A = this chain, B = another copy of it.
Amino acid sequence: MKITISKENLLYGIQTVQKAISTKNTIPTLSGIKFKVENNRLYFTATDLEIGIECHVPIEAIEDGEIVLPARHLSELVRKLPDTKITINYLPEITGVEIKYDDSEVVLKGWPGDEFPLIPDFEGDYAFEINPNVLKNMIKQTIFATTSDDTRPIFTGALFEIENDHLKIITTDTHRLALRSGKVNVLNDQAINVIIPGKTLSEVNRITKDEEELIKINGNTKQICFETEDTKIISRLIDGKFPNYRQVIPNDPKTFLKIKTKSLQHTVERANLFSNEKDGTSVINLHIENGTLQVTSQSELGKVEEKISVLDEGEPMTIAFNAKYLLDVLKVMDTEDLDFNLTGSLSPAIVKPGNHDNFIYVILPIRVV
Contacts and interface: CB of A to CB of B under 8 A. Distances in A.
Interface in A42-81: 70, 73, 76-77, 80-81
Contact of A103 (B76, B80, B300, B306): B306
Given A107-B302, A303-B107, A306-B104, A270 B81 contact: yes
A273 B76 contact: yes
Given A76-B273, A273-B73, A273-B77, A304 B266 contact: no
Interface residues of A, number: 28
Contacts of A104: 267, 270, 304-307
A302 B110 CA distance: 9
Given A103-B307, A270-B80, A273-B77, A109 B302 contact: yes
A117 interface: no
Contacts of A257: none
A257 to B, nearest CB: 17
A5 interface: no
A82 interface: yes
A253 interface: no
A105 B270 contact: no
Nearest to A108: B302
Contacts of A106: 270, 302-305
Contacts of A306: 103-105
Contacts of A273: 73, 76-77, 80
A304 B105 contact: yes
Interface string A72-115: 01001100111000000000000010000001111111000000
This protein's copies in its complex: 2
User: Most chain-B Cβ atoms within 10 A of its Cβ — which of A103, A266, A300, A307?
Assistant: A103
A336 interface: no
Contacts of A302: 96, 106-109
A77 B107 CA distance: 53
A269 interface: yes
Contacts of A80: 266, 269-270, 273
Contacts of A267: 104
Contacts of A108: 301-302
User: Most chain-B Cβ atoms within 10 A of its Cβ — which of A105, A273, A305?
Assistant: A273
A214 B73 CA distance: 47
Contacts of A307: 103-104
A95 to B, nearest CB: 11
A328 B300 CA distance: 46
Given A104-B307, A306-B104, A301 B73 contact: yes
B301 A266 contact: no
A267 B80 CA distance: 9
Contacts of A70: 301
Closest 9 CB pairs of A and B: A104-B306, A108-B302, A103-B307, A106-B304, A107-B302, A107-B303, A80-B269, A80-B270, A109-B302
11 contacts: A73-B273, A80-B273, A82-B266, A96-B302, A104-B267, A104-B304, A105-B306, A106-B305, A107-B302, A107-B303, A108-B302
Given A77-B270, A105-B305, A108-B301, 14 more contacts: A70-B301, A73-B301, A77-B273, A80-B269, A80-B273, A82-B266, A96-B302, A103-B307, A104-B306, A104-B307, A105-B306, A106-B304, A108-B302, A109-B300
